[in-house]
A and B are shown apart, each in its own frame.
Chain A
Amino acid sequence: MSGKVRWFGVVLGLLGLAAVLVLHWQVFFWVSTERTMGVVQRIFYIHVPAAWVGFMAFGIVAVCSAVYLWLKDERADMAAVAAAEGGMLFTAIVLLTGPLWAKVAWGIWWEWDLRLTLTLLLFFIYLGYFLVRRSTENLEKGKRFAAVVGIVGALDIPLIHLSVKWFRSIHPEPVVMNPDGPTLPGDMLATLFTGLAAFTFLFFSFFLFRYGLERTRHALAHRRTGRGGEALSEGMAS
Chain B
Amino acid sequence: MDYLRQVVAIVWKDVAIELRTRERVASMGAFTILVGILFNFAIDPTVVDPAEIASGLIWMTIIFGGMLGLGRTFQLEEEDGAFEGVLLSPIPRDALYLGKVASNFILLMVVTALVFGVFALFFSLGLGEHPLALALVVLLGVLGFVAVGTLFAAISARTSMGDTLLPVLVFPLLIPVIIFGVTATSSLFRGLPVSEVDGNIRMLGAFALGALAAGAVLFRHVVED
Contacts and interface: CB of A to CB of B under 8 A. Distances in A.
Interface of A: 69, 117, 121, 124-125, 127-128, 131-132, 135-137, 141-142, 144-145, 147-149, 151-153, 155-156, 159-160, 162-164, 166-167, 238
20 contacts: A124-B168, A127-B168, A128-B168, A131-B165, A136-B160, A137-B160, A144-B224, A145-B158, A147-B221, A149-B155, A151-B218, A152-B151, A153-B173, A156-B172, A160-B175, A162-B203, A163-B175, A164-B175, A166-B180, A166-B203
A146 to B, nearest CB: 9
A156 B210 CA distance: 9
Interface string B132-166: 00000000000000001001100100111100010
Contacts of B169: 128, 131-132, 149
A117 B207 CA distance: 19
Contacts of A145: 155, 158-159, 222
B106 interface: no
Given A128-B169, A131-B168, A148-B155, A160 B221 contact: no
Contacts of B158: 136, 141, 145
B6 interface: no
Q: Is the interface of B mostly helix, strand, loop or mixed?
A: helix
Given A136-B158, A148-B218, A159 B210 contact: yes
A163 B224 contact: no
Contacts of B30: none
B176 A156 contact: yes
A149 to B, nearest CB: 6
Contacts of A147: 221
Contacts, number: 91
B151 A136 contact: no
Nearest to B173: A156
B151 A148 contact: yes
Q: How large is the interface on B (under 10, 10 to 19, 20 to 34, 35 or more residues)?
A: 20 to 34
A135 to B, nearest CB: 4
Contacts of B183: 166-167
Interface string B180-206: 100100000000000000010001001
Contacts of A166: 179-180, 183, 199, 203
B173 A117 contact: no
B120 interface: no
Contacts of A159: 176, 203, 206-207, 210
B43 interface: no
B198 to A, nearest CB: 13
A148 B221 CA distance: 8
Contact of B175 (A121, A131, A137): A121
Contacts of B222: 144-145, 148
B205 to A, nearest CB: 12
A216 B169 CA distance: 29
Given A148-B155, A152-B214, A135 B165 contact: yes
